[in-house]
Amino acid sequence: MTDEYFMREALRAARHAIGRTSPNPLVGAAVVRDGRIVSIGWHRAAGTHHAEVHALNMAGELARGATLYVTLEPCSHYGRTPPCVDKIIESGIARVVAAMSDPNPKVAGRGFDRLRQAGIAVEVGVLEDEARRLNEVFLKWITTGLPFVMLKTAMSLDGKIATSAGQSKWITSDAARQRVHEWRDEYDAIMVGIGTVLADNPALTARLDRPTRNPIRIIVDSRARTPLDSNVVSDRQAKTIIAVTERASKENIDRLRAAGVEIITAGEGDHVDLRRLLKELAAQEITSVMLEGGGTLNFSMLRAGLVDRINAFIAPKVLGGRMALTAVEGEGFTQLDQAVELVDVETEMVGGDVLISGYVRRR
């Protein structure tokens, strides 16, 4: 068995907690002795034991002289839990193999230094690309102070998200909508514009046949026009944050706050400063945002360079209509070299629809 084999098992374990560890990273660990895995663990939620502690507790005395595989550098500081390096040193582990260092300034190589000082052999970089992809949300948040943003859209073959009469339910299949609810369960927050709230009165919750965690609902509403009887205000199914500008009606803001909504003021003019909004969300430890906006908000986020990934469902239907809404509207880009380009593109059949996914190329 190779280091890559055991690291792949640690990565597999880490994935068990997708959507549950924020603002912490996803981490898996395995204790290996004489070429066999004797224990495996993963971080389950912020404030609970880290992956290394779970694996070492399970291994007990079998950890002495063994190798610990871990998908991220062990922490060396007191946070919500004690330093993992102390537990590793005490356990008698002889060798630590890590996929990558932790860019968190509180760690950033200090964990490896402590282990080496204790006489433990340390190797770094095994399956690093896979580990970085696994923790793309955490890495974006901890290094930039912005949440990872995934733009999700669903459209017809000719790019329409509704008919010319405004009908949008349902362009895509049941299977596609199921996938969307799975994403909602994984992301910290979901963002839409006031136009979507007024047109569709969505609940923006995760509805699955298993226990779910509803995302925080972010409404971009510069004038605070969100109705008090809208689902995002009245259903109490999840926290709702409404982003306004200084031009918003104080009376409307007071009514929304009285209804239990949090208000973030981001901008002085007619439009919410989206970067400023995302900075504020990140400061609240919201590390990931699923953007389900209409064409105007989608374009504004893309133009501002705030989208990291696009997941686009395309249904095998043609709607037509010059006035029918499209997935991205706004002013549009005037030059082809300004277009948003995707890299690492993947395609998948979901029900009868095609899902095209990729990462936004950074210029």
231: helix, coil or strand?
A: helix
Is 179 exposed, middle or buried, given 0-12, 13-18 or 19+ CB atoms closer than 10 A? buried
**Pairing, β 353-360 against β 342-350:** antiparallel
d(CA 160, CA 255): 36
Asked if residue 56 lies in contact with residue 47, where contact means CB atoms within 8 angstroms, the answer is no
Q: What share of the chain is helix, strand, coil (3-state, %, to 5)?
A: 30, 20, 45
Is 52 catalytic? The answer is: yes
Is 139 exposed, middle or buried, given 0-12, 13-18 or 19+ CB atoms closer than 10 A? buried
Q: Which of 176, 114, 129 is nearest to 7 (CA)?
A: 129
> Of 9, 52, 186, 292, which one is the catalytic site residue?
52
The CA-CA-CA angle for residues 226, 147, 210, to 5°, reads: 75
Q: Which of 93, 48, 47, 92 is nearest to 70 (CA)?
A: 93
Could you list the beta-strand ranges (E) of 156-197: 189-193
Residue given tokens 């047109």 in the structure block: 199
Sheet holding 121-124, edge to edge: 36-42, 28-33, 67-70, 95-98, 121-124
Catalytic residues: 52
